Amino acid sequence: MKIVLTGVKPTGILHIGNYFGAIKPALLLAEEYEARYFIADYHALNVVKNASELRGAIRGIAAGWLAAGLDPEKVIFYRQSSVPETFELATILAAFASKGLLNRAHAYKAAVQRNIERGDDGDAGINMGLFTYPVLMAADILLFGADLVPVGRDQVQHIEMAQDMAKSLNFNYKKDLLKIPEALVRDEVAVVPGLDGRKMSKSYGNTIPMFSSSAALRKLIMRIVTNSQGVDEPKNPDDSQIFTLYKLFAAEPEREALAARYRAGGMGWGEAKEELFRVMDAELAPLRERYDAFMSEPERLDAILRAGAEKARHIASRTVEHLRSAIGIAL
Ligand code: ADP
Ligand code: TRP
């Protein structure tokens, strides 16, 4: 069976854009492939330098995926930091990653560009963690022989770099030591709009968290920006982010019925928002309950991640042993 692998960076709390854009599609893939999903906690260290914040984000993401339905018996679910073989492989790969390749990484280039525009030294405030980010990510992937790596479009370059490093290493030893992974870009997944109509993103501060209380959820929905059309005016459902969000949570007949009410007029934005709240709260309530249960029992969460790490290390140690002997480090 083919292997699907992806990592999630524990920065910030999960929102419904992450739910529909990443979590749900990954859980679907896990039904078809052998899945390995992990929390890229050392990748997060580049940005999150506050210990309790990082700890909270790691637990929050882990609890979030489990609450959304990830079955740790079926998916190997672990923390990157619990698999030290990752860091050994990153060291090996560094010897096969040209600096020029890393210079061209979008995230690094953008940071340099921002510095230059500000009149600063190009490398001001840039740490080596950001620069070598693609090497660590390549190690995450190549360690587990992943065939497919589901990612957002912004991550495709990183997968290409992982391919590049794996090919250089294979070429050098004239052996297929590392499997060449492919990116699986979720182009068909719709962009979930945020409260202001732009893409929902934590960097825009326009998110609806997956696990807010019912009351907080209602309050957020009431803040969704609308146009000034009055109650009686017919409305175009396809023009409204309230309806775009509604569609994600409602079944087909419900969607059609509500679209007809938009078009007929007589329904104000307040009522449209109430309808949205109703379907959203109905889908999210059971997830929220499971999430709260995991968060109040961190030992249970940690035990699940430890068990996942054990399975992951079993695979990882084989890859690294094999490589050590192929490259001449094992005597
Ligand atoms: P953010 O933009 O909030 O920082 P991330 O970059 O951490 O989100 O995204 C994590 C995953 O969730 C990625 O796979 C990304 O494609 C997906 N995702 C994030 N926001 C959305 C959205 N508004 N619609 C669809 N998918 C999203
Ligand atoms: N860089 C990815 C992101 O920011 C997270 C990540 C780390 C990852 N290692 C990975 C994704 C390996 C896929 C495979 O979203």
Q: Is the CB of 17 under 6 A from ligand 1?
A: yes
For ligand 2, atom 4, name the residue with the nearest CA. Answer: 9
Indicate which ligand has the atom closest to the C-alpha of 17: 1
| pLDDT (tens digit per residue) in 9-64 | 999 899 999 999 999 999 999 999 999 999 999 999 999 999 999 999 999 999 99
Nearest ligand 1 atom to the CA of 194 is 23
Q: Where are the domains of the chain?
A: 3-192+298-327, 211-291
CA of 217 to the centre of ligand 2 (A): 29
Q: Is the CB of 202 under 6 A from ligand 1?
A: yes
Nearest ligand 1 atom to the CA of 202 is 3
Backbone dihedral angles phi then psi of residue 5, each to the nearest 5 degrees: -140, 140
Q: What gap in Å lies between CA 103 and CA 92, rounded to an integer?
A: 19
Q: List alpha helices for the chain, DSSP H.
A: 16-18, 24-29, 41-44, 51-67, 85-94, 99-103, 106-117, 128-131, 133-142, 156-173, 214-222, 241-249, 252-264, 269-295, 298-327
Q: What gap in Å lies between CA 39 and CA 61, rounded to an integer?
A: 8
CA of 100 to the centre of ligand 1 (A): 28
pLDDT above 90 (res 326): yes
| pLDDT (tens digit per residue) in 203-249 | 999 999 999 999 999 999 999 999 999 999 999 999 999 999 999 99
CA distances from 213 to 101, 180, 286, 292 (A): 45, 43, 11, 10
| pLDDT computed for residue 330 by the predictor | 87
Q: How many percent of the chain have pLDDT more than 70?
A: 100
The arithmetic mean of pLDDT across residues 277-303, rounded, is 97
Identity of residue 239: D
> For the ranges 30-39, 81-90, 189-198, which has the lowest average pLDDT?
189-198
User: What sign does the CA torsion over 52, 54, 55, 61 have?
Assistant: positive
The arithmetic mean of pLDDT across residues 79-87, rounded, is 98
Rg over CA atoms, the chain: 22
Two structure tokens written together for 256: 């059609």
CA of 200 to the centre of ligand 1 (A): 8
CATH number for 3-192+298-327: choose from 3.40.50.620, 3.40.50.300, 3.90.1660.10, 3.20.20.330: 3.40.50.620
Domain with residues 211-291, CATH architecture:
Orthogonal Bundle (1.10)
For ligand 1, atom 6, name the residue with the nearest CA. Answer: 201
**What is the three-class DSSP state of 190?**
coil
Do the beta carbons of residue 285 and residue 214 sit within 8 Å?
Answer: yes
| pLDDT (tens digit per residue) in 121-150 | 999 999 999 999 999 999 999 999 999 999
| pLDDT (tens digit per residue) in 140-193 | 999 999 999 999 889 999 999 999 999 999 999 999 999 999 999 977 777 899
CA distances from 172 to 89, 101, 158 (A): 16, 17, 21
pLDDT tier, 302 (very low <50, low <70, confident <90, very high otherwise): very high
Q: Is 253 exposed, middle or buried (0-12, 13-18, 19+ CB in 10 A)?
A: exposed
| pLDDT computed for residue 146 by the predictor | 98
- Computed over every residue of the chain, the mean pLDDT equals 96
| pLDDT computed for residue 187 by the predictor | 74
Q: Is the CB of 26 under 6 A from ligand 2?
A: no
Q: What gap in Å lies between CA 79 and CA 39, rounded to an integer?
A: 5
Two structure tokens written together for 154: 């912004």
**CB-based contacts of 50: which residues, under 8 Å, 6+ apart?**
none
| pLDDT computed for residue 186 by the predictor | 79
Q: CA dihedral in degrees (23, 28, 31, 37; nearest 10)?
A: -20
Nearest ligand 1 atom to the CA of 191 is 24
Q: pTM for this one?
A: 0.94
**What is the three-class DSSP state of 284?**
helix
| Strand ranges across the sheet with 76-79 | 76-79, 34-39, 3-8, 148-151, 182-185
